[in-house]
Amino acid sequence: MILMGDRVPMFKLRPYRSLVVAAFFVFVIGGLLSAYFFGEEAYCTGSHRGLFTLIVTLILTLLLIIAAFSRYGFRHLRHHRPGYKRG
């Protein structure tokens, strides 16, 4: 949390909570599905499905995390002029 002066924290720079929760659920469900496909050793295609599911899950999770923390990319929002006071 970044503070504006000594008074008010800038809550507008917090990550999007819903995207972080969605990334967690995508990671857990995709990991379980991938583990299920890896567990099928009877078919060779099962391991390929597991690897494909794992790669897609990791990419989706990474994109959701990047989108959730996108507010941190805007450094100009953190600037605070010493003489500027909000009413």
Query: Which residue segment(s) compose the domain that 66 sits in?
Result: 21-70
Task: Please state whether the predicted TM-score (pTM) of the whole model is above 0.85.
Answer: no
Mean pLDDT computed over 11-27:
87
- 39 within a domain of the structure (yes/no): yes
pLDDT exceeds 50 at position 87: no
The predicted structure's pLDDT at residue 64: 93
pLDDT exceeds 80 at position 79: no
- 26 within a domain of the structure (yes/no): yes
- 78 within a domain of the structure (yes/no): no
How many domains in the chain?
1
How many CB atoms neighbour CB 56 within 10 A? 14
pLDDT confidence band for 46 (50 / 70 / 90): low
